[in-house]
Structure 1
């Protein structure tokens, strides 16, 4: 059975690679995103995940085309980095509202459909810094660590209905954003990673495809690191 997979923020970076991987897997893939180009074979609905009505309308639009969502990859997120003492209320609130509450909004709507299907795969995009911490990212790390509690509470609520909820915790991944880092900065980061390299977006995508597969049907409430060993023990 072809599944309808929704990947938020599939226009770039990790989200784009995840959407491409599900297309290659033979799934019907759509995205809720704010703008930009989507990969071939991916249907889109424009919405800001900080707006509940817009999120619900986007799901309605996509489900009218492809049927109820069976897999959700909640990938969309932002950063507003800054040291704690200088971080504004707005910068903290914006990251929480997008990364945490925005994820809640998409999951809440998706679970409504999954409950009717008695099947669902929810994959939340966390981060190694959610458990390891990182200077200048109090807001971001807080938003990502909270996804672990979210996934585990979802598992306890709806796990009996054939729905799983897990978190992927990527480490340093080669994207357009990290490509802007200087060589010295990259080497400094690589020296802290046991694998001695940045990961690829395809490696994160492979983890998402696995967690959404039948092979992972008994995996729920888990955190799957894709970080080259950076966050071991956390």
Structure 2
């Protein structure tokens, strides 16, 4: 896809879907800046990609911290010259039924999943405006479009991402920058392997397609929305969920 020669920033890029996306963008010819709090995993991934001949680098930052984000954004733009693509992939869960959820857990999830996306977008978009083009791709969820039991904080954060995405499509579209969101369904990762078999069985019943999603499925959605082929797609939420029933 048309991302060759582009500079892509991927938050939460050290592991899971983010790491798969980092490799996919590298394989398609992009230069990749990986942002994550997990320094060991991030450095290991960047070194491995660099050793395979790809242009990738790791930067440690807490996306919920504005000063942290502004500092790393300045470093990345100085090192790479500009930023063409921002993948707001970083996110956390702290699940509990609403009546048992601590306010601190509610706030923490919104701090990372919402404020983090806001901080990164605000920090990197000026570089895109200067270039006259760019792609903002943020990770929502089917929980943000349909809700989910035990995830009031997570669902609220992912719904907020959709609202910000549609706002940014209007604010930044006239400047040649598109803003879109990807809403994954059930995606098999290391974290989802800990989900009880009973819950997995319920999720299978909700997913008409005969398998769950993979990190590659989400990385491919990121790639498409970041590509030249998607230049007229703006303000869209791409659901990658196998037709999950809501």
Q: TM-score, normalised by structure 1?
A: 0.96
1:139 aligns with 2:159: no
| In 1: Cα distance, 2:238 partner to 2:144 partner | 12
**1:179 CA drift (Å):** 1.3
Return the match for 1:37 from 31, 36, 41. 41
| In 1: Cα distance, 2:73 partner to 2:139 partner | 19
State which drifts further: 214-223 or 194-203. Answer: 194-203
- After superposition, the Cα gap between the structure-2 partners of 1:183 and 1:87, relative to the gap in structure 1 and judged at 3 Å, is closer
Select the structure that is richer in helix: 2
In the other structure, the counterpart of 2:126 is 112
**1:130 CA drift (Å):** 0.4
Return the match for 2:239 from 207, 225, 232. 225
In the other structure, the counterpart of 2:83 is 69
| In 1: Cα distance, 2:124 partner to 2:206 partner | 38
| In 1: Cα distance, 2:36 partner to 2:137 partner | 17
1:174 aligns with 2:188: yes
Per-residue deviation, residues 129-164 of structure 1 (Å, max 9, x unmatched): 101110110000000011111011111111011100
| In 2: Cα distance, 1:222 partner to 1:152 partner | 7
Alpha-carbon contact 1:69-1:110 (below 8 Å) kept:
yes
In the other structure, the counterpart of 2:17 is 14
Alpha-carbon contact 2:14-2:35 (below 8 Å) kept:
no
**1:186 CA drift (Å):** 2.0
| Structure 2 alignment gaps of length 5 or more | 51-55
1:213 aligns with 2:227: yes
**1:185 CA drift (Å):** 3.1
| In 2: Cα distance, 1:188 partner to 1:43 partner | 40
Alpha-carbon contact 2:94-2:105 (below 8 Å) kept:
yes
1:4 aligns with 2:7: yes
**1:231 CA drift (Å):** 4.8
| In 1: Cα distance, 2:60 partner to 2:150 partner | 31
Q: Any runs of at least 4 consecutive aligned residues in structure 1 with deviations exceeding 4 A, and if so which?
A: none
In the other structure, the counterpart of 1:99 is 113
| In 2: Cα distance, 1:73 partner to 1:163 partner | 13
In the other structure, the counterpart of 2:71 is 57
Per-residue deviation, residues 166-203 of structure 1 (Å, max 9, x unmatched): 00000000100111224443222112111132101001
| Structure 1 alignment gaps of length 5 or more | none
1:156 aligns with 2:159: no
Name the SS for the 2:211 alignment partner. Answer: coil
Name the SS for the 2:186 alignment partner. Answer: coil
1:188 aligns with 2:202: yes
Name the SS for the 1:69 alignment partner. Answer: coil
Q: TM-score, normalised by structure 2?
A: 0.91
